[in-house]
Structure 1
Amino acid sequence: MKPTPEHDARMASMTFSSVYPHYVTKVERKGRTKEELHQVITWLTGFDDQKLQELVNEKVTFKTFFRDANLNPNAHLIAGTICGYKIEEIDNPLTKQVRYLDKLVDELAKGKKLEKILRQG
């Protein structure tokens, strides 16, 4: 499935704070911790816990969230399908970055080892 321009626009305008609680619930329900979630988000974006909380409080859009992020140089190693979209086939950079984050959260919730999630070998 290929994202449409409307889908890309929806991703850009969605707020990180509206999705973040769902990420926390998803990983905690599967026995992982909020700290592990933050480790994964920090690896991808470079944001520390304080900055993450600021972004949640400010209700920034994903467009702003990823504009301010320092994307990990190994982010391109994140591959596979998430929400019906094959990450490697997504052309829009922002939509791809949002799906990177979704994929990492999904891998964490599925019990994958942090070393593998963080593309360390």
Structure 2
Amino acid sequence: MKTTPEHDARMAKITFASVYPHYITKVEKKGRTKEELHHVIRWLTGFDDNKLQELTDEKATFETFFMQAELNPNAHLITGVICGYRIEEIENTLTKQVRYLDKLVDELAKGKKMEKILRAA
């Protein structure tokens, strides 16, 4: 499935604060922890707990969120389907980055080992 310009614009405007509680609920419901979630987010973005709190408090959009991130050099190794989209086929950079995060949260919730989630060599 190919993203549309409207879809990409919608993704850019979503606030991290609006989805973050859902990420926590999703992973905790499956027996994972908020600390593990933060570890995964830190791996992808470089954000520590204080920066995550700051971005949440200021209701940063995903556009701002990923503009400030230092994406992990191995992020391109995140592949597969999430929300009906094959990540490696997404052309819009920001939409791809949001889907990277979604995929990591999904893998965490599914019980994957941390070294697999973090694409350890």
Could you say whether these structures have the same fold, taking a TM-score greater than 0.5 normalized by the shorter chain as the test? Answer: yes
Q: Which residue of 1 aligns with 2:97?
A: 97
The whole-number CA distance in structure 2 between the counterparts of 1:108 and 1:118 is: 10
Structure 1 unaligned runs (5+)? none
Identity of matched residues, %: 80
Q: Which residue of 2 aligns with 1:108?
A: 108
The whole-number CA distance in structure 2 between the counterparts of 1:112 and 1:2 is: 27
The whole-number CA distance in structure 2 between the counterparts of 1:30 and 1:6 is: 33
TM-score by length of 2: 0.99
Which 4+ residue blocks in structure 1 deviate beyond 6 angstroms?
none
String of CA shifts for 1:33-72, please: whole Å, max 9, x gaps: 0000000000000000010011000000000000000000
Structure 2 unaligned runs (5+)? none
The whole-number CA distance in structure 2 between the counterparts of 1:15 and 1:50 is: 17
TM-score by length of 1: 0.99
RMSD: 0.4
